[in-house]
Structure 1
Amino acid sequence: MIGKLISSIVLVAGALGANICAAQNNTVSVLYAGSLVNLMERSIGPAFAKATGLRFQGYAAGSNKIANEIKGNLRRGDVFISASPKVNTALMGTANGTHVTWYASFAESPLMIGYNPRSRFASDFKTKRWDQVLQEPGIRIGRTDPKLDPKGAFTVELMTKAAEFYHQPDLVTKTLGAVDNPEQVLPEETLVGRLQSGQLDAGFFYSTETSDLKIPSIHPAPELQVKASYTLTILNDAPNPGGAARFVEFLLSAQGQALLKEHGVDVLKPKISGDGQTIPPSVRAVIDATQ
Protein backbone atom coordinates (compact mmCIF):
# COMPACT_ATOMS: atom_id res chain seq x y z
CA MET A 1 0.00 0.00 0.00
CA ILE A 2 2.80 2.38 0.97
CA GLY A 3 4.65 1.41 -2.20
CA LYS A 4 1.63 2.29 -4.35
CA LEU A 5 1.28 5.63 -2.52
CA ILE A 6 4.93 6.47 -3.13
CA SER A 7 4.56 5.51 -6.79
CA SER A 8 1.52 7.77 -7.11
CA ILE A 9 3.39 10.68 -5.51
CA VAL A 10 6.31 10.15 -7.88
CA LEU A 11 3.97 10.10 -10.89
CA VAL A 12 2.20 13.29 -9.77
CA ALA A 13 5.51 15.03 -9.07
CA GLY A 14 6.79 13.95 -12.46
CA ALA A 15 3.68 15.29 -14.18
CA LEU A 16 3.97 18.61 -12.34
CA GLY A 17 7.62 18.86 -13.27
CA ALA A 18 6.81 18.17 -16.91
CA ASN A 19 4.11 20.85 -16.87
CA ILE A 20 6.49 23.36 -15.30
CA CYS A 21 9.16 22.59 -17.93
CA ALA A 22 6.58 22.90 -20.69
CA ALA A 23 5.45 26.24 -19.31
CA GLN A 24 9.06 27.46 -19.11
CA ASN A 25 9.81 26.31 -22.65
CA ASN A 26 6.80 28.25 -23.90
CA THR A 27 7.64 31.45 -21.97
CA VAL A 28 10.46 33.88 -22.68
CA SER A 29 11.32 36.14 -19.76
CA VAL A 30 12.73 39.48 -20.88
CA LEU A 31 14.23 41.85 -18.29
CA TYR A 32 14.44 45.31 -19.83
CA ALA A 33 15.14 48.98 -19.15
CA GLY A 34 12.04 50.73 -17.85
CA SER A 35 12.14 53.35 -20.62
CA LEU A 36 11.02 50.60 -23.02
CA VAL A 37 7.79 49.65 -21.22
CA ASN A 38 5.41 50.85 -23.91
CA LEU A 39 7.54 49.49 -26.75
CA MET A 40 7.94 46.05 -25.18
CA GLU A 41 4.50 45.49 -23.71
CA ARG A 42 2.37 46.94 -26.51
CA SER A 43 4.48 46.28 -29.59
CA ILE A 44 7.50 43.97 -29.48
CA GLY A 45 6.03 41.51 -26.97
CA PRO A 46 2.67 40.93 -28.72
CA ALA A 47 4.32 40.84 -32.18
CA PHE A 48 6.89 38.29 -30.99
CA ALA A 49 4.16 36.11 -29.46
CA LYS A 50 2.13 36.26 -32.67
CA ALA A 51 5.12 35.43 -34.87
CA THR A 52 6.48 32.57 -32.77
CA GLY A 53 3.65 31.21 -30.64
CA LEU A 54 5.82 31.76 -27.55
CA ARG A 55 4.65 33.72 -24.52
CA PHE A 56 6.40 37.03 -23.80
CA GLN A 57 6.90 37.83 -20.11
CA GLY A 58 8.42 41.23 -19.45
CA TYR A 59 9.91 42.87 -16.36
CA ALA A 60 10.80 46.57 -16.46
CA ALA A 61 13.03 48.53 -14.07
CA GLY A 62 16.17 50.65 -14.03
CA SER A 63 18.98 48.81 -15.81
CA ASN A 64 21.32 48.92 -12.80
CA LYS A 65 18.52 47.74 -10.52
CA ILE A 66 17.90 44.72 -12.76
CA ALA A 67 21.63 43.96 -12.91
CA ASN A 68 21.85 44.11 -9.12
CA GLU A 69 18.90 41.73 -8.81
CA ILE A 70 20.47 39.29 -11.29
CA LYS A 71 23.84 39.48 -9.54
CA GLY A 72 22.20 38.92 -6.15
CA ASN A 73 20.28 35.91 -7.52
CA LEU A 74 17.03 37.72 -6.74
CA ARG A 75 15.75 37.57 -10.31
CA ARG A 76 16.21 35.24 -13.27
CA GLY A 77 15.41 35.86 -16.89
CA ASP A 78 16.25 34.76 -20.40
CA VAL A 79 17.11 38.07 -22.08
CA PHE A 80 18.49 41.26 -20.53
CA ILE A 81 18.10 44.60 -22.33
CA SER A 82 20.01 47.50 -20.78
CA ALA A 83 20.13 51.22 -21.54
CA SER A 84 23.91 51.35 -21.08
CA PRO A 85 26.74 48.99 -22.12
CA LYS A 86 28.48 49.62 -18.78
CA VAL A 87 25.72 47.77 -16.92
CA ASN A 88 26.66 44.50 -18.61
CA THR A 89 30.23 44.62 -17.31
CA ALA A 90 28.88 44.35 -13.76
CA LEU A 91 27.58 40.89 -14.70
CA MET A 92 30.67 39.64 -16.51
CA GLY A 93 33.56 37.62 -15.11
CA THR A 94 33.83 35.07 -12.34
CA ALA A 95 33.80 37.69 -9.59
CA ASN A 96 30.42 38.91 -10.89
CA GLY A 97 28.84 35.49 -11.28
CA THR A 98 29.49 35.17 -15.04
CA HIS A 99 25.85 35.94 -15.77
CA VAL A 100 26.86 37.60 -19.05
CA THR A 101 29.67 36.71 -21.48
CA TRP A 102 28.61 38.83 -24.48
CA TYR A 103 26.26 41.64 -25.38
CA ALA A 104 25.30 43.55 -28.50
CA SER A 105 24.54 47.27 -28.81
CA PHE A 106 21.59 47.60 -31.18
CA ALA A 107 19.84 50.97 -30.71
CA GLU A 108 20.15 54.50 -29.32
CA SER A 109 17.79 57.08 -27.89
CA PRO A 110 18.80 60.65 -26.94
CA LEU A 111 17.80 62.18 -23.60
CA MET A 112 15.09 64.85 -23.81
CA ILE A 113 13.28 67.20 -21.44
CA GLY A 114 9.59 66.30 -21.57
CA TYR A 115 6.78 68.38 -20.08
CA ASN A 116 3.06 68.10 -19.35
CA PRO A 117 1.13 70.20 -21.91
CA ARG A 118 -1.44 71.05 -19.20
CA SER A 119 1.19 72.29 -16.76
CA ARG A 120 1.21 76.00 -15.88
CA PHE A 121 4.84 75.97 -17.06
CA ALA A 122 4.02 74.58 -20.52
CA SER A 123 3.87 77.98 -22.22
CA ASP A 124 7.24 78.89 -20.71
CA PHE A 125 8.87 75.87 -22.35
CA LYS A 126 7.70 77.27 -25.69
CA THR A 127 9.11 80.76 -25.14
CA LYS A 128 12.11 80.37 -22.82
CA ARG A 129 15.25 78.28 -22.77
CA TRP A 130 14.56 74.96 -21.07
CA ASP A 131 17.19 75.32 -18.34
CA GLN A 132 15.62 78.63 -17.31
CA VAL A 133 12.18 77.05 -17.00
CA LEU A 134 13.56 74.24 -14.83
CA GLN A 135 14.73 76.89 -12.34
CA GLU A 136 11.32 78.54 -11.96
CA PRO A 137 9.77 78.45 -8.45
CA GLY A 138 7.26 75.66 -7.88
CA ILE A 139 8.09 73.53 -10.92
CA ARG A 140 7.88 69.80 -10.17
CA ILE A 141 10.65 67.84 -11.89
CA GLY A 142 10.92 64.07 -12.14
CA ARG A 143 14.01 61.95 -12.81
CA THR A 144 15.38 58.53 -12.01
CA ASP A 145 17.96 57.39 -9.47
CA PRO A 146 21.51 57.75 -10.87
CA LYS A 147 22.57 54.72 -8.82
CA LEU A 148 19.87 52.42 -10.21
CA ASP A 149 19.24 53.68 -13.71
CA PRO A 150 21.50 54.98 -16.52
CA LYS A 151 18.88 57.62 -17.36
CA GLY A 152 19.34 59.11 -13.90
CA ALA A 153 23.10 59.24 -14.43
CA PHE A 154 22.61 60.72 -17.91
CA THR A 155 20.36 63.41 -16.39
CA VAL A 156 23.10 64.53 -14.02
CA GLU A 157 25.60 64.41 -16.91
CA LEU A 158 23.32 66.53 -19.10
CA MET A 159 22.76 69.15 -16.41
CA THR A 160 26.50 69.27 -15.62
CA LYS A 161 27.25 69.88 -19.30
CA ALA A 162 24.52 72.55 -19.44
CA ALA A 163 25.96 74.33 -16.40
CA GLU A 164 29.26 74.75 -18.22
CA PHE A 165 27.71 75.44 -21.62
CA TYR A 166 25.37 78.17 -20.30
CA HIS A 167 27.96 79.51 -17.79
CA GLN A 168 25.78 78.76 -14.77
CA PRO A 169 27.96 77.05 -12.13
CA ASP A 170 25.02 76.46 -9.76
CA LEU A 171 22.61 75.10 -12.41
CA VAL A 172 22.73 71.50 -11.18
CA THR A 173 21.96 72.53 -7.60
CA LYS A 174 19.19 74.91 -8.64
CA THR A 175 17.42 72.37 -10.87
CA LEU A 176 18.15 68.97 -9.32
CA GLY A 177 19.10 69.73 -5.75
CA ALA A 178 20.94 66.80 -4.18
CA VAL A 179 21.82 63.88 -6.45
CA ASP A 180 19.38 61.67 -4.52
CA ASN A 181 16.74 64.41 -4.01
CA PRO A 182 13.66 62.43 -2.82
CA GLU A 183 11.30 65.06 -4.22
CA GLN A 184 12.50 64.27 -7.75
CA VAL A 185 13.92 60.75 -7.84
CA LEU A 186 11.30 58.18 -8.87
CA PRO A 187 11.25 54.59 -10.23
CA GLU A 188 11.79 54.66 -13.99
CA GLU A 189 8.67 52.62 -14.73
CA THR A 190 6.43 55.21 -12.99
CA LEU A 191 7.95 58.43 -14.34
CA VAL A 192 5.84 58.72 -17.50
CA GLY A 193 2.60 57.99 -15.65
CA ARG A 194 3.32 60.66 -13.07
CA LEU A 195 3.98 63.24 -15.78
CA GLN A 196 0.84 62.33 -17.72
CA SER A 197 -1.34 62.41 -14.59
CA GLY A 198 -0.16 65.91 -13.70
CA GLN A 199 1.92 64.96 -10.67
CA LEU A 200 4.96 66.34 -12.48
CA ASP A 201 5.44 69.40 -14.67
CA ALA A 202 8.57 68.15 -16.42
CA GLY A 203 11.03 65.31 -16.44
CA PHE A 204 13.91 63.68 -18.25
CA PHE A 205 12.99 61.02 -20.83
CA TYR A 206 14.48 59.22 -23.79
CA SER A 207 13.21 60.09 -27.26
CA THR A 208 11.53 56.70 -27.53
CA GLU A 209 9.30 57.69 -24.60
CA THR A 210 8.47 61.21 -25.78
CA SER A 211 7.89 60.10 -29.38
CA ASP A 212 5.91 57.00 -28.49
CA LEU A 213 3.60 58.66 -25.96
CA LYS A 214 3.30 62.07 -27.67
CA ILE A 215 4.95 63.90 -24.78
CA PRO A 216 5.92 67.49 -25.73
CA SER A 217 9.68 67.68 -25.44
CA ILE A 218 12.74 69.86 -25.78
CA HIS A 219 15.84 68.54 -27.53
CA PRO A 220 18.96 69.96 -25.84
CA ALA A 221 21.62 71.65 -27.96
CA PRO A 222 23.85 69.21 -29.91
CA GLU A 223 26.76 70.10 -27.64
CA LEU A 224 24.81 68.71 -24.68
CA GLN A 225 23.59 65.52 -26.30
CA VAL A 226 23.50 62.44 -24.08
CA LYS A 227 22.17 59.13 -25.39
CA ALA A 228 20.99 55.80 -24.09
CA SER A 229 22.76 52.96 -25.86
CA TYR A 230 20.54 49.89 -25.70
CA THR A 231 22.19 46.50 -25.47
CA LEU A 232 20.86 42.97 -25.40
CA THR A 233 22.21 39.64 -24.23
CA ILE A 234 21.07 36.13 -23.37
CA LEU A 235 21.80 35.43 -19.73
CA ASN A 236 24.01 32.41 -19.11
CA ASP A 237 21.57 30.85 -16.65
CA ALA A 238 18.52 31.52 -18.85
CA PRO A 239 15.71 29.04 -18.02
CA ASN A 240 14.72 29.03 -21.69
CA PRO A 241 17.84 29.66 -23.82
CA GLY A 242 16.12 28.45 -26.99
CA GLY A 243 13.24 30.88 -26.52
CA ALA A 244 15.73 33.62 -25.65
CA ALA A 245 17.54 33.09 -28.94
CA ARG A 246 14.26 33.31 -30.85
CA PHE A 247 13.40 36.59 -29.09
CA VAL A 248 16.77 38.15 -29.95
CA GLU A 249 16.43 36.93 -33.55
CA PHE A 250 12.99 38.56 -33.75
CA LEU A 251 14.15 41.84 -32.21
CA LEU A 252 17.01 42.10 -34.72
CA SER A 253 14.90 41.00 -37.68
CA ALA A 254 13.47 43.40 -40.24
CA GLN A 255 10.10 43.28 -38.47
CA GLY A 256 11.63 43.92 -35.06
CA GLN A 257 13.74 46.81 -36.31
CA ALA A 258 10.73 48.37 -38.04
CA LEU A 259 8.85 48.29 -34.73
CA LEU A 260 11.80 49.92 -32.95
CA LYS A 261 11.83 52.74 -35.50
CA GLU A 262 8.07 53.22 -35.16
CA HIS A 263 8.61 53.88 -31.46
CA GLY A 264 11.26 56.56 -31.91
CA VAL A 265 14.35 54.41 -31.41
CA ASP A 266 17.44 54.97 -33.56
CA VAL A 267 18.36 51.51 -34.88
CA LEU A 268 22.06 50.62 -35.18
CA LYS A 269 23.96 47.78 -36.77
CA PRO A 270 24.53 45.41 -33.82
CA LYS A 271 27.99 45.74 -32.30
CA ILE A 272 29.21 42.75 -30.29
CA SER A 273 31.23 43.09 -27.09
CA GLY A 274 32.64 40.27 -24.96
CA ASP A 275 33.09 36.67 -26.07
CA GLY A 276 31.37 36.41 -29.44
CA GLN A 277 32.10 32.68 -29.57
CA THR A 278 29.40 32.07 -26.94
CA ILE A 279 26.64 33.64 -29.03
CA PRO A 280 24.12 31.01 -30.25
CA PRO A 281 24.76 30.27 -33.96
CA SER A 282 21.24 31.27 -34.99
CA VAL A 283 21.61 34.64 -33.26
CA ARG A 284 25.07 35.18 -34.74
CA ALA A 285 23.67 34.49 -38.20
CA VAL A 286 21.05 37.22 -37.75
CA ILE A 287 23.66 39.68 -36.45
CA ASP A 288 26.01 38.93 -39.35
CA ALA A 289 23.16 39.44 -41.81
CA THR A 290 22.65 43.01 -40.56
CA GLN A 291 26.28 44.05 -41.11
Structure 2
Amino acid sequence: MIRKLLASFTIVASMAAATPSFAQDNTVNVLYAGSLVNLMERSVGPAFEKSTGLQFRGYAAGSNKIANEIKGKLRRGDVFISASPKVNQSLMGAENGDHVSWYVNFAESPLMIGYNPKSKFAADFKTKRWEQVLQEPGIRIGRTDPKLDPKGAFTVEMMTKAAELYHQPDLVEKTLGDAENPAQVLPEETLVGRLQSGQLDAGFFYSTETSDLKIPAFQPAPELAAKASYTLTILSDAPNNAGAARFVDFLLSEQGRALLKQHGVDVIKPVVTGNGQAVPPSVQAVIDAAQ
Protein backbone atom coordinates (compact mmCIF):
# COMPACT_ATOMS: atom_id res chain seq x y z
CA MET A 1 0.00 0.00 0.00
CA ILE A 2 2.81 2.38 0.97
CA ARG A 3 4.69 1.55 -2.25
CA LYS A 4 1.56 2.31 -4.30
CA LEU A 5 1.15 5.65 -2.52
CA LEU A 6 4.80 6.52 -3.11
CA ALA A 7 4.49 5.58 -6.76
CA SER A 8 1.37 7.70 -7.14
CA PHE A 9 3.06 10.62 -5.43
CA THR A 10 6.05 10.32 -7.74
CA ILE A 11 3.83 10.35 -10.84
CA VAL A 12 1.85 13.40 -9.63
CA ALA A 13 5.05 15.24 -8.68
CA SER A 14 6.55 14.51 -12.06
CA MET A 15 3.44 15.83 -13.83
CA ALA A 16 3.44 18.96 -11.69
CA ALA A 17 7.09 19.56 -12.46
CA ALA A 18 6.50 19.08 -16.15
CA THR A 19 3.54 21.47 -16.40
CA PRO A 20 5.47 24.75 -15.96
CA SER A 21 8.04 23.59 -18.52
CA PHE A 22 5.32 22.89 -21.06
CA ALA A 23 3.62 26.20 -20.35
CA GLN A 24 6.95 27.97 -20.72
CA ASP A 25 7.72 26.26 -24.04
CA ASN A 26 4.25 27.11 -25.33
CA THR A 27 4.25 30.77 -24.21
CA VAL A 28 6.22 33.67 -25.62
CA ASN A 29 6.58 36.65 -23.28
CA VAL A 30 6.87 39.89 -25.24
CA LEU A 31 7.85 43.10 -23.46
CA TYR A 32 6.92 46.03 -25.69
CA ALA A 33 6.62 49.82 -25.88
CA GLY A 34 3.27 51.02 -24.55
CA SER A 35 2.44 52.83 -27.79
CA LEU A 36 1.91 49.41 -29.38
CA VAL A 37 -0.77 48.12 -27.00
CA ASN A 38 -3.62 47.99 -29.52
CA LEU A 39 -1.42 46.60 -32.29
CA MET A 40 0.04 43.84 -30.13
CA GLU A 41 -2.96 42.78 -28.09
CA ARG A 42 -5.65 42.96 -30.77
CA SER A 43 -3.74 42.18 -33.94
CA VAL A 44 -0.22 40.78 -33.81
CA GLY A 45 -0.72 38.62 -30.72
CA PRO A 46 -3.89 36.85 -31.91
CA ALA A 47 -2.49 36.44 -35.45
CA PHE A 48 0.74 34.96 -34.06
CA GLU A 49 -1.20 32.49 -31.93
CA LYS A 50 -3.35 31.44 -34.89
CA SER A 51 -0.34 31.03 -37.15
CA THR A 52 1.94 29.12 -34.75
CA GLY A 53 -0.22 27.56 -32.05
CA LEU A 54 1.94 29.27 -29.43
CA GLN A 55 0.58 31.57 -26.74
CA PHE A 56 1.37 35.30 -26.81
CA ARG A 57 1.76 37.04 -23.46
CA GLY A 58 2.42 40.78 -23.64
CA TYR A 59 3.59 43.40 -21.16
CA ALA A 60 3.40 47.07 -22.14
CA ALA A 61 5.17 50.05 -20.57
CA GLY A 62 7.55 52.88 -21.44
CA SER A 63 10.64 51.47 -23.16
CA ASN A 64 13.06 52.87 -20.59
CA LYS A 65 10.89 51.60 -17.76
CA ILE A 66 11.01 48.09 -19.20
CA ALA A 67 14.78 48.32 -19.67
CA ASN A 68 15.18 49.42 -16.05
CA GLU A 69 13.07 46.48 -14.89
CA ILE A 70 15.18 44.08 -16.97
CA LYS A 71 18.43 45.48 -15.57
CA GLY A 72 17.04 45.38 -12.05
CA LYS A 73 15.98 41.75 -12.58
CA LEU A 74 12.41 42.73 -11.79
CA ARG A 75 11.07 41.37 -15.08
CA ARG A 76 12.06 38.65 -17.53
CA GLY A 77 10.87 38.19 -21.07
CA ASP A 78 11.69 36.52 -24.35
CA VAL A 79 11.32 39.40 -26.81
CA PHE A 80 11.84 43.12 -26.16
CA ILE A 81 10.36 45.74 -28.51
CA SER A 82 11.54 49.29 -27.86
CA ALA A 83 10.67 52.66 -29.36
CA SER A 84 14.32 53.78 -29.48
CA PRO A 85 17.66 52.12 -30.29
CA LYS A 86 19.23 53.97 -27.34
CA VAL A 87 17.19 51.83 -24.96
CA ASN A 88 18.71 48.64 -26.39
CA GLN A 89 22.18 50.11 -26.10
CA SER A 90 21.57 50.66 -22.39
CA LEU A 91 21.21 46.87 -22.06
CA MET A 92 24.31 45.94 -24.09
CA GLY A 93 27.77 45.14 -22.80
CA ALA A 94 29.04 43.56 -19.59
CA GLU A 95 28.67 46.85 -17.72
CA ASN A 96 24.93 46.78 -18.54
CA GLY A 97 24.36 43.12 -17.77
CA ASP A 98 24.70 41.76 -21.34
CA HIS A 99 20.91 41.52 -21.61
CA VAL A 100 21.00 42.42 -25.31
CA SER A 101 23.66 41.45 -27.88
CA TRP A 102 21.83 42.52 -31.06
CA TYR A 103 18.68 44.29 -32.15
CA VAL A 104 16.80 45.00 -35.37
CA ASN A 105 15.34 48.35 -36.45
CA PHE A 106 12.14 47.39 -38.26
CA ALA A 107 9.60 50.25 -38.17
CA GLU A 108 9.06 53.94 -37.48
CA SER A 109 6.20 56.15 -36.30
CA PRO A 110 6.20 59.99 -36.27
CA LEU A 111 5.24 61.93 -33.15
CA MET A 112 1.85 63.67 -33.50
CA ILE A 113 -0.37 65.96 -31.44
CA GLY A 114 -3.72 64.26 -30.99
CA TYR A 115 -6.89 65.70 -29.46
CA ASN A 116 -10.30 64.60 -28.26
CA PRO A 117 -12.91 65.61 -30.90
CA LYS A 118 -15.43 66.24 -28.10
CA SER A 119 -13.12 68.57 -26.20
CA LYS A 120 -14.13 72.23 -25.93
CA PHE A 121 -10.74 73.02 -27.48
CA ALA A 122 -11.30 70.80 -30.55
CA ALA A 123 -12.56 73.66 -32.74
CA ASP A 124 -9.52 75.76 -31.86
CA PHE A 125 -7.18 73.07 -33.19
CA LYS A 126 -8.84 73.53 -36.60
CA THR A 127 -8.43 77.30 -36.70
CA LYS A 128 -5.28 78.09 -34.70
CA ARG A 129 -1.70 76.90 -34.68
CA TRP A 130 -1.32 73.90 -32.39
CA GLU A 131 1.15 75.44 -29.92
CA GLN A 132 -1.25 78.37 -29.41
CA VAL A 133 -4.06 75.99 -28.44
CA LEU A 134 -1.79 74.13 -26.02
CA GLN A 135 -1.27 77.40 -24.14
CA GLU A 136 -4.98 78.14 -23.65
CA PRO A 137 -6.16 78.29 -20.03
CA GLY A 138 -7.69 75.08 -18.72
CA ILE A 139 -6.51 72.73 -21.47
CA ARG A 140 -5.58 69.28 -20.15
CA ILE A 141 -2.48 67.87 -21.85
CA GLY A 142 -1.16 64.34 -21.52
CA ARG A 143 2.36 63.06 -22.17
CA THR A 144 4.76 60.43 -20.91
CA ASP A 145 7.69 60.61 -18.52
CA PRO A 146 10.85 61.68 -20.41
CA LYS A 147 12.93 59.52 -18.06
CA LEU A 148 10.91 56.36 -18.61
CA ASP A 149 9.76 56.63 -22.21
CA PRO A 150 11.35 57.87 -25.46
CA LYS A 151 8.05 59.50 -26.44
CA GLY A 152 8.25 61.69 -23.35
CA ALA A 153 11.79 62.73 -24.25
CA PHE A 154 10.75 63.41 -27.87
CA THR A 155 7.88 65.58 -26.58
CA VAL A 156 10.19 67.83 -24.56
CA GLU A 157 12.63 67.94 -27.47
CA MET A 158 9.88 68.91 -29.92
CA MET A 159 8.52 71.67 -27.68
CA THR A 160 12.02 73.05 -27.11
CA LYS A 161 12.55 73.25 -30.87
CA ALA A 162 9.10 74.83 -31.29
CA ALA A 163 10.01 77.54 -28.78
CA GLU A 164 12.94 78.49 -30.97
CA LEU A 165 11.09 78.11 -34.29
CA TYR A 166 8.15 80.26 -33.18
CA HIS A 167 10.29 82.69 -31.17
CA GLN A 168 8.50 81.93 -27.91
CA PRO A 169 11.20 81.47 -25.22
CA ASP A 170 8.66 80.52 -22.54
CA LEU A 171 6.70 78.02 -24.68
CA VAL A 172 7.94 74.90 -22.86
CA GLU A 173 7.11 76.39 -19.48
CA LYS A 174 3.65 77.52 -20.60
CA THR A 175 2.68 74.21 -22.23
CA LEU A 176 4.53 71.52 -20.29
CA GLY A 177 5.62 73.09 -17.03
CA ASP A 178 8.30 70.99 -15.36
CA ALA A 179 9.72 68.03 -17.29
CA GLU A 180 8.00 65.65 -14.86
CA ASN A 181 4.86 67.72 -14.30
CA PRO A 182 2.53 65.32 -12.41
CA ALA A 183 -0.54 67.01 -13.90
CA GLN A 184 0.51 65.84 -17.37
CA VAL A 185 2.88 62.88 -17.09
CA LEU A 186 1.07 59.53 -17.32
CA PRO A 187 2.02 55.89 -18.03
CA GLU A 188 2.29 55.38 -21.78
CA GLU A 189 -0.10 52.44 -21.81
CA THR A 190 -2.90 54.56 -20.28
CA LEU A 191 -2.48 57.78 -22.26
CA VAL A 192 -4.80 56.90 -25.15
CA GLY A 193 -7.53 55.71 -22.80
CA ARG A 194 -7.36 58.95 -20.82
CA LEU A 195 -7.81 60.98 -24.01
CA GLN A 196 -10.67 58.85 -25.33
CA SER A 197 -12.52 58.97 -22.01
CA GLY A 198 -12.40 62.77 -21.94
CA GLN A 199 -9.90 63.07 -19.08
CA LEU A 200 -7.52 64.82 -21.48
CA ASP A 201 -8.09 67.40 -24.21
CA ALA A 202 -4.87 66.74 -26.10
CA GLY A 203 -1.68 64.75 -25.93
CA PHE A 204 1.45 63.58 -27.70
CA PHE A 205 1.13 60.27 -29.54
CA TYR A 206 2.84 58.29 -32.26
CA SER A 207 1.09 57.98 -35.62
CA THR A 208 0.42 54.28 -35.00
CA GLU A 209 -1.79 55.29 -32.05
CA THR A 210 -3.66 58.11 -33.75
CA SER A 211 -4.15 56.20 -37.02
CA ASP A 212 -5.06 52.94 -35.34
CA LEU A 213 -7.65 54.44 -33.00
CA LYS A 214 -8.97 57.21 -35.27
CA ILE A 215 -7.74 60.01 -33.02
CA PRO A 216 -7.82 63.43 -34.76
CA ALA A 217 -4.20 64.54 -35.01
CA PHE A 218 -1.70 66.60 -36.93
CA GLN A 219 2.03 66.42 -37.46
CA PRO A 220 4.07 69.51 -36.56
CA ALA A 221 6.29 71.33 -39.04
CA PRO A 222 9.11 69.26 -40.60
CA GLU A 223 11.66 71.24 -38.57
CA LEU A 224 10.11 69.77 -35.41
CA ALA A 225 9.90 66.17 -36.61
CA ALA A 226 10.48 63.42 -34.06
CA LYS A 227 9.65 59.76 -34.36
CA ALA A 228 9.76 56.38 -32.70
CA SER A 229 12.30 54.01 -34.20
CA TYR A 230 11.00 50.60 -33.24
CA THR A 231 13.50 47.86 -32.55
CA LEU A 232 13.18 44.27 -31.46
CA THR A 233 15.53 41.72 -29.94
CA ILE A 234 15.56 38.35 -28.23
CA LEU A 235 16.84 38.88 -24.71
CA SER A 236 20.02 37.01 -23.83
CA ASP A 237 18.39 35.22 -20.89
CA ALA A 238 15.09 34.52 -22.68
CA PRO A 239 13.39 31.51 -21.02
CA ASN A 240 11.93 30.49 -24.39
CA ASN A 241 14.50 31.15 -27.11
CA ALA A 242 12.79 28.95 -29.68
CA GLY A 243 9.42 30.61 -29.14
CA ALA A 244 11.04 34.06 -29.20
CA ALA A 245 12.62 33.33 -32.58
CA ARG A 246 9.26 32.21 -33.96
CA PHE A 247 7.64 35.46 -32.78
CA VAL A 248 10.37 37.60 -34.37
CA ASP A 249 10.09 35.51 -37.56
CA PHE A 250 6.36 36.19 -37.62
CA LEU A 251 6.60 39.93 -36.94
CA LEU A 252 9.22 40.44 -39.65
CA SER A 253 7.45 38.20 -42.13
CA GLU A 254 5.25 39.47 -44.95
CA GLN A 255 2.15 38.83 -42.83
CA GLY A 256 3.56 40.60 -39.79
CA ARG A 257 4.72 43.61 -41.79
CA ALA A 258 1.28 43.86 -43.39
CA LEU A 259 -0.28 44.04 -39.92
CA LEU A 260 2.13 46.80 -38.95
CA LYS A 261 1.14 48.83 -42.00
CA GLN A 262 -2.55 48.33 -41.24
CA HIS A 263 -1.98 49.93 -37.85
CA GLY A 264 -0.29 53.06 -39.15
CA VAL A 265 3.32 51.99 -38.62
CA ASP A 266 5.90 52.92 -41.26
CA VAL A 267 7.67 49.66 -42.11
CA ILE A 268 11.35 49.93 -43.04
CA LYS A 269 13.96 47.44 -44.23
CA PRO A 270 15.15 45.61 -41.11
CA VAL A 271 18.72 46.48 -40.09
CA VAL A 272 20.72 44.53 -37.51
CA THR A 273 22.91 46.33 -34.97
CA GLY A 274 25.30 44.52 -32.64
CA ASN A 275 26.50 40.93 -32.82
CA GLY A 276 25.00 39.65 -36.04
CA GLN A 277 26.41 36.18 -35.36
CA ALA A 278 24.02 35.87 -32.41
CA VAL A 279 20.93 36.36 -34.56
CA PRO A 280 19.07 33.03 -34.92
CA PRO A 281 19.35 31.59 -38.47
CA SER A 282 15.56 31.66 -38.99
CA VAL A 283 15.44 35.35 -38.01
CA GLN A 284 18.36 36.16 -40.32
CA ALA A 285 16.58 34.39 -43.16
CA VAL A 286 13.45 36.52 -42.67
CA ILE A 287 15.57 39.69 -42.50
CA ASP A 288 17.31 38.76 -45.76
CA ALA A 289 13.95 38.09 -47.41
CA ALA A 290 12.70 41.54 -46.40
CA GLN A 291 15.61 43.40 -48.01
For residues 238 and 3 of structure 2, the distance between their equivalents in structure 1, rounded to whole angstroms, comes to 37
Superposed, which structure 2 residues align to 1:1-291 within 5 Å?
A: 8-291=8-291
For residues 13 and 98 of structure 1, the distance between their equivalents in structure 2, rounded to whole angstroms, comes to 35
Instruction: Give the gaps of 5 or more residues in structure 1.
Output: none
1:153 positional shift: 0.3
For residues 3 and 132 of structure 2, the distance between their equivalents in structure 1, rounded to whole angstroms, comes to 79
Please tell me the residue identity of whatever aligns with 1:149.
Answer: D
Corresponding residue SS for 1:119 = coil
For residues 174 and 159 of structure 1, the distance between their equivalents in structure 2, rounded to whole angstroms, comes to 10
CA deviation string 1:116-153 (max 9, x = no partner): 00000000000000000000000000000001000000
1:13 positional shift: 2.8
CA deviation string 1:138-173 (max 9, x = no partner): 000000000100000000011011111111111000
1:97 positional shift: 1.3
For residues 179 and 5 of structure 2, the distance between their equivalents in structure 1, rounded to whole angstroms, comes to 62
CA deviation string 1:190-209 (max 9, x = no partner): 00000000000000000000
- TM-score normalised per structure 2: 0.97
For residues 31 and 146 of structure 1, the distance between their equivalents in structure 2, rounded to whole angstroms, comes to 19
Corresponding residue SS for 2:181 = coil
1:11 positional shift: 3.5
Corresponding residue SS for 1:267 = strand
For residues 271 and 155 of structure 1, the distance between their equivalents in structure 2, rounded to whole angstroms, comes to 26
Please tell me the residue identity of whatever aligns with 2:126.
Answer: K
For residues 102 and 8 of structure 1, the distance between their equivalents in structure 2, rounded to whole angstroms, comes to 47
For residues 99 and 4 of structure 1, the distance between their equivalents in structure 2, rounded to whole angstroms, comes to 47
Which segment is superposed worse, 13-22 or 24-33? 13-22
For residues 5 and 154 of structure 2, the distance between their equivalents in structure 1, rounded to whole angstroms, comes to 61
1:94 positional shift: 1.2
CA deviation string 1:43-81 (max 9, x = no partner): 000011001111110100000000011111111111000
Corresponding residue SS for 2:24 = helix
For residues 48 and 269 of structure 2, the distance between their equivalents in structure 1, rounded to whole angstroms, comes to 20
1:10 positional shift: 4.3
For residues 241 and 54 of structure 2, the distance between their equivalents in structure 1, rounded to whole angstroms, comes to 13
For residues 207 and 75 of structure 2, the distance between their equivalents in structure 1, rounded to whole angstroms, comes to 28
- TM-score normalised per structure 1: 0.97
Please tell me the residue identity of whatever aligns with 2:73.
Answer: N
For residues 183 and 223 of structure 2, the distance between their equivalents in structure 1, rounded to whole angstroms, comes to 29
For residues 2 and 188 of structure 1, the distance between their equivalents in structure 2, rounded to whole angstroms, comes to 58
1:246 positional shift: 0.5
For residues 276 and 53 of structure 2, the distance between their equivalents in structure 1, rounded to whole angstroms, comes to 28
1:290 positional shift: 1.2
Instruction: Give the gaps of 5 or more residues in structure 2.
Output: none
Question: After the TM superposition, which segments of 4 or more aligned residues of structure 1 sit over 2 Å from their partners?
Answer: 1-14
Which segment is superposed worse, 113-122 or 15-24? 15-24
For residues 222 and 20 of structure 1, the distance between their equivalents in structure 2, rounded to whole angstroms, comes to 51
Identity %: 79
For residues 170 and 8 of structure 2, the distance between their equivalents in structure 1, rounded to whole angstroms, comes to 73
Please tell me the residue identity of whatever aligns with 1:270.
Answer: P
